[in-house]
Amino acid sequence: SKTERAKKIVDMYNNGYSIRDIWKESGVQSKSTVYSILNKYKVQLNRTPGRVPGIRK
């Protein structure tokens, strides 16, 4: 379901996966869809330097 997929995306983000990895893994249409879901669930988009290797803007 969409809700389950959204929860997976939120969980992945909170566990430090990159947007690109989440996008590929979740099967949503675009990276902007990933951002939309994160915003919908009020996820703080704060990638602090050093937290995750290989951060891509």
pLDDT of residue 51: 54
The answer as to whether 10 is a domain residue is yes
Contact present, 52 and 27 (Cβ < 8 Å): no
The answer as to whether 56 is a domain residue is no
Calculate Rg over the CA atoms of the chain.
11
The answer as to whether 54 is a domain residue is no
Q: Other CB atoms closer than 10 Å to residue 17's CB: what's the count? A: 17
Give the three-class secondary structure for 30. Answer: coil
Q: How confident is the model at residue 7 (pLDDT cuts 50, 70, 90)?
A: very high
Q: How confident is the model at residue 55 (pLDDT cuts 50, 70, 90)?
A: low
From residue 49, alpha-carbon distances to 18, 19, 40, 53, 57 in Å are 13, 15, 24, 9, 11
Structural domain of 23: 2-40
Alpha carbon distance 50, 33 (integer Å):
25
What are 17-41's pLDDT values in tens digits? 999 999 999 999 999 999 999 999 9
